Structure 1
Amino acid sequence: MALSYKARKRLSLLILVVGVPVYIVVCVTVVNMLERPSIWVEFGIYVALGIVWALPLKAVFKGVGKEDPDQPN
């Protein structure tokens, strides 16, 4: 089931406005529960978590910034 351009655009906006801030809060909470590791370990965790959220959502964000391919000229 492929999403239309309009659906991908709306879904990506929802993910960026609601999903990413929630994900950030969850990540910070989890890292703080680890009793504050050293600065380099903490940095590595945040970098890894910053990449992990985008990988499964790559298909949603791909091509959203371009013109609507379904729109007639």
Structure 2
Amino acid sequence: MALSYKTRKRLSLLILLIGLPLYVIVAINIVALFERPSILVELGVYVGLGIIWIIPFKSVFKGIGQADPDADPNDQ
């Protein structure tokens, strides 16, 4: 299922404004499950979770910063 540029742009905004803050709360709660972990363990968990969240959304964010490829070039 190929998403249009407009749909991907809206979906990426939704993910960043709603999904990412929720994911941060989940990550903090995961670290809180450990009983006072060392700073390196805590850093490793945050870095790992920071990389893992983007993997399913890679195709949504790809090319969002570029101009709309479906737009009419004469329409400026």
TM range (shorter): over 0.9
Once the two structures are aligned, what percentage of the paired residues are identical? Answer: 60
Cα separation, 1, equivalents of 2:16 and 2:36 = 27
User: What stretches of structure 1 of length at least 5 have no aligned partner?
Assistant: none
Gaps of 5+ in 2: none
Amino acid at match of 1:61: F
Q: CA RMSD in A?
A: 0.7
Partner of 1:34: 34
Residue-pair matches, total? 73
Aligned to 1:57: 57
Larger radius of gyration: 2
Query: 2:56 aligns to what SS in structure 1?
Result: coil
Question: How far, CA to CA, are the matches of 2:34 and 2:57 in structure 1?
Answer: 27
Deviation at 1:13, TM superposition (A): 0.2
How does the TM-score come out when normalised to structure 2? 0.92
Runs ≥4 residues deviating over 4 A: none
